[in-house]
Amino acid sequence: MSAFVSKQDTFLLNYGYQGMLSIIDCLVDRHDVIVYDSEAHACIIDGCRLHAGKRFVFKHNDIEDFEKQLKRAEKLTQAANGGILVITEGVFGMRGDMGKLKEIALFKKTYDFTLLVDDAHGIGVMGPNGAGTGEHQGVQDSIDLYFGTFAKAFAAIGAFVSGKKEIIQYLRYNMRSQIYAKSLSMPVVFGLHQRLQLIQETPELRKKLWEITKTLQDGLRQAGLDIGDTQSPVTPVYLRGSIKQATRLVEDLREHHSIFCSMVVYPVIPQGLIILRLIPTAIHSFDNVFQTIEAFKAINENLAFGIYDGHEKPTYPLDQIISRQLCQ
């Protein structure tokens, strides 16, 4: 794994969530300051909450605000003789957009900080070799600690963190979540090794994934659906509605269109907003994509007609919706 992500050493972790939380807890003390993106994953936020020192959050991918928070952090660390830990993500799992790693890395010329990147959604997918978003943006060498999970592209469990030998060695002997818990079992590690070989030796799978992704995202946009500014296979579809409507909507997708997708509602996002998160894969077919686009057109129409408002089960197939629309 170290050679794959261009780092000196790698530490395998039992779980991604507690691994990231424990990395942050291990790296900083009360003299240090954390600067992190406002859209960071919950595991990063919880890790920051454990921090006894100051932490500053910058607006999502807002480089001007990032520098503002960096300057605030620098003043404090200079007075306390501490350090600055900057945390962002390679691919943000909710929006699908990339973190501005290249722009953040440029600040290392004028500010002294350690850069920790969570690339759970980028490893295996982004970059010419699938080595992640750092490779994709050409700044892998500027990332001090590169973190990824095996729950996405690797379709397994666990996580890893890669970096300089001395930092990884320090983490091995100081991360509480790894010292006082079970490590990954050998059958899992062997399976992960085989998956890594598959990613490295079959680039055609990654090419197929991106072809499927582009077809899906272009089709959804052409159908008038809002998928934001995703730059990765993570494909969010933004809709307006209540939690009840969202629940009935995903039931409709599952029961009548044979499509399963993640539903994101309040309190994760503001009330009245629904996100249906689609994750295309290399084993999906173009027929699957076209079926999904038609299904999403249908549920979008259903939502507009108020079909998910009542107590009856939604039963309108696409042809009935179109007929109903023409009659109005």
DSSP SS3 for 278: strand
Measure the CA–CA gap between 301 and 243, rounded to whole angstroms. Answer: 17
Q: Could you tell me if residue 98 is inside a domain?
A: yes
- Of 225, 319, 209, 208, which is closest to residue 277 (Cα–Cα)? 225
**High-pLDDT (> 90) share of the chain, %:** 89
Domain boundary pick from 200, 222, 256 = 200
Same domain, 154 and 245: no
pLDDT digits (tens, 9 = 90+) for 154-183: 999 999 999 999 999 999 999 999 999 988
Please report which residue ranges of the chain form alpha helices under DSSP H: 16-27, 42-49, 63-80, 101-106, 133-137, 165-172, 176-179, 186-201, 203-222, 243-257, 286-305, 318-327
- Of 141, 145, 132, which is closest to residue 199 (Cα–Cα)? 132
Same domain, 143 and 218: no
Average pLDDT over residues 304-319: 65
Q: What local confidence, expressed as pLDDT, does residue 113 receive?
A: 97
Q: What local confidence, expressed as pLDDT, does residue 201 receive?
A: 95
Domain boundary pick from 183, 200, 217 = 200
Measure the CA–CA gap between 57 and 69, rounded to whole angstroms. Answer: 7
Same domain, 28 and 121: yes
Count, in order, helices (H) and strands (E) of the chain: 12, 10
Q: Could you tell me if residue 3 is inside a domain?
A: no
Contact 48, 34 (CB under 8 A): yes
Domain boundary pick from 200, 234, 260 = 200
Q: Could you tell me if residue 4 is inside a domain?
A: no
Average pLDDT over residues 222-238: 96
pLDDT digits (tens, 9 = 90+) for 51-80: 999 999 999 999 999 999 999 999 999 999
Q: What local confidence, expressed as pLDDT, does residue 198 receive?
A: 94
Q: Check whether 324 has a pLDDT greater than 50.
A: no
Average pLDDT over residues 315-321: 44
Average pLDDT over residues 312-318: 47
Residue 293: which CATH number? 3.90.1150.10
Containing structural domain, residue 195 = 9-200
Residues β-bridged to residue 56: 35
Same domain, 31 and 55: yes
Q: How many domains does the chain have?
A: 2
Provide the pLDDT confidence category of residue 269 given band limits of 50, 70 and 90.
confident
Q: Is the dihedral of CA 292, 223, 229, 287 positive or negative?
A: positive
Same domain, 232 and 93: no
Q: What local confidence, expressed as pLDDT, does residue 208 receive?
A: 97
Q: What local confidence, expressed as pLDDT, does residue 262 receive?
A: 85
> In the 8-state DSSP scheme, what is residue 247?
H
Q: Could you give the angle at which helices 203-222 and 286-305 cross, rounded to 10 degrees?
A: 30
Q: Could you tell me if residue 1 is inside a domain?
A: no
Provide the pLDDT confidence category of residue 33 given band limits of 50, 70 and 90.
very high
Q: Could you tell me if residue 56 is inside a domain?
A: yes
Q: What local confidence, expressed as pLDDT, does residue 312 receive?
A: 52
Residue 163: which CATH number? 3.40.640.10
> In the 8-state DSSP scheme, what is residue 275?
E
Average pLDDT over residues 203-222: 97
What average pLDDT does the chain have?
A: 92
Average pLDDT over residues 11-17: 94
Give residue 245's Cα distance to chain centre: 25
Same domain, 170 and 296: no
Same domain, 208 and 196: no
Measure the CA–CA gap between 214 and 224, rounded to whole angstroms. Answer: 16
Q: Could you tell me if residue 228 is inside a domain?
A: yes
Q: What local confidence, expressed as pLDDT, does residue 318 receive?
A: 42
Measure the CA–CA gap between 206 and 195, rounded to whole angstroms. Answer: 13
Sheet holding 114-118, edge to edge: 9-13, 159-163, 145-149, 114-118, 84-89, 33-37, 54-58
